[in-house]
């Protein structure tokens, strides 16, 4: 298993504590900047405070304060009286940019993530935010947010990693992919595009189907992608698929349901079939990487039985139901890992 493994250095200075306690304010500055699409405006040439104030409707004094916060974390800079985006800002936080994932940052982390973390201490005590529902049904698909909005935002965050995974995992010899908790279908689309012989089924809650259908249609893949609306824990899985993918699904359910998903994958696949589990995972010592560790804290919010996923845990859950694990590799460095496991022939 490949991970970066320099141990995390214990902090010694009070400023290191300050960096943590103030850190959420920087996140909020970024989310607010995206609410006003500030970086797109700067990229488009609105490079001075008065013009930016007019374009956004933010008064100059307030805008200057926001810009100071954005400069302090390197998202933008001011050179010769003109505002400019940092290279990564231009590439990922501007409308039409190649890696544009503004909606993921603004909605999934900024709106939903930030709001749900308000409940963290209660969740650690074992309180449930939505006693009768799971994380997604309760938090993301409730009135006011809506599956469509969440799923579109998730799509903008998943496109990059999906493309990467489709390049790394060769499904050239496979016929059908079952994308469990497939959401907007980002991974299905990437795999189908990379493998012209492949067909796929996206299984997810009904609230996501319309969004997935839209993206499938836009990609011209309607004849190769089917949709199955249901709950992956209770809805019957089709049996005629030779690959099962679960991306960011194990971190959305508790330990009991992880065991159910592993078992269901094994039962659904033919001998030689392949399961792919892609998720936020920390290393086996559960010390790092930070983004994965922080994200996994979020899974406690509505799952008292949520698991702090590691390669060892994931591989163990798959081995217990009979898979022969090939290994776990880093997918998005510092964030996600992928475990591959065939069902013995």
According to DSSP, the residues that pair with 84 across neighbouring strands are 77
Whichever of 181 and 311 has its CB closer to ligand SAM, that residue is 181
Instruction: Quote the DSSP letter at residue 207.
Output: G
Closest CA to 62 of 109, 111, 29, 90: 29
Smallest distance, Å, CB 168 to ligand SAM?
Answer: 15
CA distance 168 to 285: 26
Residue with the two structure tokens 């890992």: 337
Smallest distance, Å, CB 7 to ligand SAM?
Answer: 30
Whichever of 29 and 198 has its CB closer to ligand SAM, that residue is 198
Whichever of 46 and 246 has its CB closer to ligand SAM, that residue is 246
Would you say 277 and 301 are in contact if contact means Cβ atoms under 8 Å apart?
no
Longest Cα–Cα distance of the chain, Å, equals 68
Tokens (6 digits) for 193: 């595009």
Smallest distance, Å, CB 230 to ligand SAM?
Answer: 7
Q: Which residues of 178-202 are buried (b: 16+ CB within 10 A; e: fewer)?
A: bbbbbbbbbbbbbbbbbbeebbbbb
Rounded alpha-carbon distances, angstroms, from residue 72 to 16, 30, 130, 282: 16, 11, 38, 29
CA distance 202 to 176: 11
Whichever of 70 and 186 has its CB closer to ligand SAM, that residue is 186
Smallest distance, Å, CB 160 to ligand SAM?
Answer: 11
Smallest distance, Å, CB 139 to ligand SAM?
Answer: 10
Smallest distance, Å, CB 115 to ligand SAM?
Answer: 16
Whichever of 232 and 325 has its CB closer to ligand SAM, that residue is 232
Displacement of CA 220 from its chain's centroid (Å): 24
Closest CA to 265 of 196, 339, 193, 165: 339
Interaction site with ligand SAM (CB under 6 A): 136, 154, 158, 181-183, 186-187, 204-205, 208, 231-233, 247-249, 252-253
Whichever of 85 and 152 has its CB closer to ligand SAM, that residue is 152
Whichever of 186 and 225 has its CB closer to ligand SAM, that residue is 186
Smallest distance, Å, CB 62 to ligand SAM?
Answer: 34
Instruction: Quote the DSSP letter at residue 344.
Output: P
């Amino acid at each position: 298993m490949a991970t970066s493994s320099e141990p995390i250095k214990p902090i010694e200075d009070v400023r290191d504590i300050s960096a943590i306690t103030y850190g959420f304010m920087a996140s909020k500055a970024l989310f607010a900047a995206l609410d006003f699409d500030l970086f797109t405006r700067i990229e488009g040439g609105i490079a001075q405070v008065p013009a930016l104030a007019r374009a956004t409707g933010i008064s100059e004094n307030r805008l200057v304060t926001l810009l100071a916060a954005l400069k302090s974390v390197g998202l933008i800079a001011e050179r010769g009286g003109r505002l400019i985006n940092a290279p990564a800002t231009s590439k990922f936080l501007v409308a039409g940019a190649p890696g544009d994932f503004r909606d993921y940052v603004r909605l999934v982390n900024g709106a939903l993530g930030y709001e749900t973390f308000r409940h963290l201490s209660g969740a650690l005590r074992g309180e449930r935010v939505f006693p009768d529902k799971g994380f997604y049904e309760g938090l993301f698909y409730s009135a006011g947010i809506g599956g469509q909005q969440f799923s579109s935002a998730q799509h903008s965050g998943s496109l990059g990693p999906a493309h990467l995974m489709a390049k790394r995992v060769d499904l050239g010899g496979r016929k059908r992919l079952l994308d469990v908790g497939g959401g907007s279908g980002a991974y299905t689309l990437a795999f189908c595009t990379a493998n012209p012989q492949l067909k796929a089924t996206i299984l997810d809650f009904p609230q996501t189907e319309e969004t997935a259908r839209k993206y499938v249609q836009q990609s011209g893949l309607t004849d190769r992608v089917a949709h199955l609306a249901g709950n992956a824990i209770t809805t019957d899985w089709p049996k005629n698929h030779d690959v099962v993918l679960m991306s960011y699904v194990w971190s959305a359910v508790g330990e009991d349901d992880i065991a159910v998903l592993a078992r269901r994958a094994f039962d659904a696949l033919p001998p030689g079939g392949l399961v792919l589990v892609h998720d936020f995972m920390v290393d086996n010592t559960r010390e790092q990487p930070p983004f994965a560790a922080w994200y996994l804290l979020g899974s406690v919010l509505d799952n008292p039985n949520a698991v702090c996923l590691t390669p060892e845990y994931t591989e163990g859950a798959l081995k217990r139901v009979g898979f022969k694990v090939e290994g776990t590799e880093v997918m998005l460095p510092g964030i996600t890992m992928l475990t591959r496991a065939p069902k013995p022939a």
